[in-house]
Structure 1
Amino acid sequence: MATKAGAPGDSNAAKADKAALEGGPDDLRERIVPLSAPEPAEKQDLKIPHRGGYEHYRATRRQKETPEGKVPVYEWWERTEIAE
């Protein structure tokens, strides 16, 4: 689970509006992605469209420092194909 964002000015708080992706396909370009609201970051699984399917990511307890600030880390756990 990702840590919730803290009070304004809390430099140890993760940004709740974006996430860092780890794992998955090497050709997945975006590694910092927006989180959809209103569900808290730690309750969201991410489903990223990619090459005719979806890459699925789950929240971890880790955070990562990025050019966009500290964000929760999500790890890849499976791929599903889009049904035709």
Structure 2
Amino acid sequence: MHVLSFAKGALAMFWLVALLNLTYPFGEPLHRGLLWASAAMLLVHVGEAALFNGRLKTRPFPWLERFQVLLFGFLHLRGLR
């Protein structure tokens, strides 16, 4: 369970760095690579949210669950019981 929390924290830091890269672009090789990596990861997480939409509807706050899946992807789904 601690590994899952650590991985979620690391992924939250990735999204924070990706947002920082949008506002203050980093150097050229890192800027473009991070932009493509974050776009690909967001696309994968949108697919996960669409795929597990039925499972998320049974939760008390489905909109919050969908948002967490967009941020953390499979790591959040893994924590659901």
TM value normalised by structure 1: 0.20
**Between structures 1 and 2, the one with greater helix share:** 2
**Between structures 1 and 2, the one with greater strand share:** 1
TM value normalised by structure 2: 0.21
